[in-house]
A and B are shown apart, each in its own frame.
Chain A
Amino acid sequence: MKSFKKHIPHYISLFAIFFAGVLGFYLFSYDKSFQIGVAIALAGSYVSWGIIHHVIHKDIYLSVILEYVAVAILGLVMILSLILRG
């Protein structure tokens, strides 16, 4: 929680990314190609946010980057599976 309060601007930008992503999925529910693009952009943005955040916080390590990449890949796989199944 301390970390959250200390980096509120970071989290505001993160939530803005998430909000834009969810809004994109909602508004373009008929456009699967667009949704695939949004999903990939969200995953990429999340990894980028993680890297920038930890660089600023001066605790960037390979294992940390891998953690963000793994979480993003898992989320991306789930969303893409549903888009392609839908």
Chain B
Amino acid sequence: MCMDFIEKTLHLFLPRASNNHKAKILHPSGLLVLASFFILFQAVLNFIPKLGPSILGYASQISPDEIIRLTNEKRAQAGLPSLTLNGTLSVAAQSKGNDMIIKDYWAHIAPDGTQPWSFFTSAGYRYRYAGENLARDFSSASSAVDAWMNSPTHRENILNSKYKEIGIGVVEGDLAGVDTTIIVQFFGSTYVDNIAQPVAANNPINDNPTIKPTIKPTIAATISPTSSPIPIIAIASPVSTVEAIFTTSKIQQFIISPFATTRAISLSVVGLLVVVFLVDSFFVSKKGIARIAGRSFAHVSFLGMIMAIILILKAGKIL
């Protein structure tokens, strides 16, 4: 039994007569079996949420204060004034986040057609200009802000001179079976804010108040003017700080992070294959075995590139 196991292991990982002098795992069939197992593993990860309570998720501790600080830092670097925290905007952002969790969607426009701007008005924010950035599954505030800054459309929102105020909503909940943290970043300026503010000629914002607000689903950062009289909604308990509306992080009960698990397994498989290719090359070279095969050096280089890409890829989605 033990000998049989050793024999199979050697057959799998070392070049010998039984595998035609090439480790079985390096044969096309062996590699395709590995790829199939990987696809199967992804299918299992997708199936897990259907089994029951949240066991998939992204642990995170996102601080709204940090998001605002980093946003203002980026604006300062661009020579723009800081955005002021507006409690009503934060309430609106929090409402949008809660709406996504409750209705289970990840988009600027809700499945029932609710526009982002309706959250502004519902919260009582009378906007002239408004914008929205969304992020999810990020492990830190800085990684989320960096991702937005790397995207031209989101960057445009962050560095838009027409915005005067900011509100952040951080919501934790179950989205498509995976526990996640959603960050909603609302930008805005009211009519009062802009009375003395000149409008940049090259700015794509349409400030014609007669135009109906629209949002293109494919454009991440969308800015819209108001179109109709906005009812002022009284807020019984005005919120003055982000902390007051920020949902306190619940105790993290995540067991598996789908991205981190996939990355760890990918790195392990690539690392194993690199070692087996190197060992295979060593034995073949040492024993002077002539065989028909691809270039091990090229394969190792390709796998090295795969490893570099795996390390570059980061968790987190922006919209």
- A15 touching B317 in the complex, CB below 8 Å, given contacts A67-B294, A70-B28, A85-B262: no
In angstroms, Cα B277 to Cα A50, docked, is 16
Contact: A82 with B263, CB < 8 Å?
A: yes
Which of B39, B259, B293 meets A82, CB within 8 Å?
B259
Determine which of B29, B259, B297, B303 lies in contact with A75 in the assembled complex, contact meaning CB atoms within 8 Å: B303
Flag whether A40 is at the interface (Cβ < 8 A): no
The reply to whether the CB of B298 lies closer than 8 angstroms to some CB of chain A is yes
Minimum Cβ distance to chain B for residue A53 (Å): 7
Interface residue tally for chain B (C-beta within 8 Å): 48
- CB neighbours (8 Å) of A69 from chain B are 28
Q: How large is the interface on A (under 10, 10 to 19, 20 to 34, 35 or more residues)?
A: 35 or more
**In the bound complex, do residue A70 and residue B35 qualify as a contact, i.e. CB atoms below 8 Å apart?**
yes
Cβ distance B179 to chain A, nearest Cβ, rounded Å: 14
Within 8 Å of chain B (Cβ to Cβ): is A41? Answer: no
B314's contact among A42, A68, A86, by CB below 8 Å, is which?
A86
CA gap between A17 and B192 in the complex, in Å: 54
Residues of chain B within 8 A (CB-CB) of A86 are: 137, 259, 313-317
Give the CA-CA distance A4 to B317 in the complex, in Å.
Answer: 41
Given A81-B266, A85-B259, is A14 in contact with B312 using a C-beta cutoff of 8 Å? no
Query: A64 interface residue, CB < 8 Å from B?
Result: yes
Contact A71 B303 (CB under 8 A): yes
